[in-house]
Chains A and B, each alone.
Chain A
Amino acid sequence: MSTNKVCATFREAVADLFDGAVLMIGGFGGVGGMPHYLLLALREQGARDLTIISNTMGIASAMGFGTPKGVRPVDVSILVENGQVRKAITTFPTSPSPSRPTAFELAYRRGQVELETVPQGTLTERMRAAGAGIAAFYTPTGVGTVVEQGKEKRVFDGREYILECALKSDFALIRARQADTLGNLVYRGTSRNFAPIMAMAARVTIAEVDYIVQPGELDPEAVVTTGIFVKRIVKRPSHTGGYQGMGAL
């Protein structure tokens, strides 16, 4: 197993992403937790027919979603617009505003992409299960709705539950505040969101971080994601927290 996890460039970090790969992308939808530079590198790298697992399908590009004024949003929309996406497994394929559709919604209307819409807690737990070696689990979410269609149902203590299966991926692109060279990760604020879960569920997790330090420099109590879950790390070009510097993308 390689112990040299630090990639010199974003291009190198995504070089082996192959056509048809299943790919998790971190972030809640806005700038926080979004692996902006890995997404830009993947657009340049050009892998196609991707299945994307992500909370939204690019609502920052559609409507900002907290993106600071004057900053150009970078999210999964750049891959959709570049024709690299075949399918999405997501909770939020649309923007809340029909007049400002996501690139994905437009592609869906043209019949160019497939869609599986999953409740957010179920999406999260399916990934967590994959990372934890759990094949499937029963959840009450979606009982009595279209979510239950085609799924096994079972009653526990008088309440109905539906069976949901684990969801793994070939790669995860995530963002963290800080890493050490072993891949241990520290996050900042709500930007943590999906990253620790995706890191567990992917065969190859690639983390884009603001700072890289030596082993021993991170407080072990503050590490949220163990480096066991992280294969590659790559440093963002600015130390600004990543937002002010985005204007230059």
Chain B
Amino acid sequence: MAKVRLTPELMAMRAAQELPEGAVVNLGIGMPTLVANHIPPDRLVILHSENGVVGYGPFPPEGQGDPDVVNAGGEMATLKPGACFVHHADSFAIIRGGHVDVAILGAYQVSEQGDLANWMIPARGIGSIGGAADLAAGARKLIALMEHTTRDGQPRILRRCTYPLTGRRCVRLVITDLAVIEVTPRGLLLKELAPGWTAKEVQELTEPELLLAPDLRAIEV
């Protein structure tokens, strides 16, 4: 079977499966915003964005958006029936106060303990923390949606993060282009593999030792 790395769109489709009916969900900028387009229309998921909207929907058709309705990536969004706006202090009360059920964030690195590094590349010497640290502290379940390796093939899932942390012990699930991995008290549990990949091959691209789930299976989207 040909080895395939999941495209960002397929990763977003897999991540959308993690959003239960009725969940309040925050999608970080970048790849996570794609998840909004893959939530089944019959599932009520309430999307919250830091810039003060509760209940936004998929991207509008090209040229039809409203600059006063944007997501946290500055991209124009649509409103679902029942949407509302809040100011920034309330928006972060929603986050910090534990009212977000699931947050999906991009990541540079995730550690074996679930530490998240997603705001600063040390070599650049300056970085943007945005709302990520608040989400790391406040979301009930944090999912990291990330490429499994760096551009030159080095692991991004590490024993210890080498980049400055966004939050400590906050990531619960990692969805990459190669695998779905749960952060457990015993260690990282490999649950799903991209089509054509073996556990051994994914382990070679992952620094900490992976535990294998009894029902290890292929990612289905």
Contact (Cβ within 8 A) B130 A143: no
Task: Please give the distance in Å from B69's CB to the nearest CB on chain A.
Answer: 5
User: What separation, in Å, do the CA atoms of A32 and B132 have in the docked complex?
Assistant: 21
Residue of A nearest to B127 (CB): A94
Contact (Cβ within 8 A) B53 A124: no
Does B138 sit at the interface, judged by CB under 8 A?
A: yes
- With an 8 Å Cβ cutoff, the count of chain A residues facing the other chain is 55
Contact (Cβ within 8 A) B134 A119: yes
Does B176 sit at the interface, judged by CB under 8 A?
A: no
User: What separation, in Å, do the CA atoms of A56 and B51 have in the docked complex?
Assistant: 12
Contact (Cβ within 8 A) B166 A190: no
Interface residues of A in 169-205 (CB under 8 A from B): 187-197
**B-side interface size class:** 35 or more
Contact with B along A10-36 (1 / 0, CB 8 A): 000000000000000000111110000
Contact (Cβ within 8 A) B92 A124: yes
Contact (Cβ within 8 A) A119 B129: yes
Contact (Cβ within 8 A) B131 A119: yes
Interface residues of B in 104-155 (CB under 8 A from A): 115, 124-134, 136-138
Among B4-12, B70-78, B209-217, the stretch that binds chain A is B70-78
Does B96 sit at the interface, judged by CB under 8 A?
A: yes
A224 — which chain B residues lie within 8 A by C-beta?
87
| Partner-A contacts on B (CB < 8 A) | 29-30, 49-53, 66-70, 72-76, 85-89, 91-92, 95-96, 115, 124-134, 136-138, 164-169
| Partner-B contacts on A (CB < 8 A) | 28-32, 56, 59-60, 64-66, 68, 91-94, 96, 98, 105, 108-109, 115, 117-122, 124-125, 127-128, 139-147, 187-197, 224, 241, 243
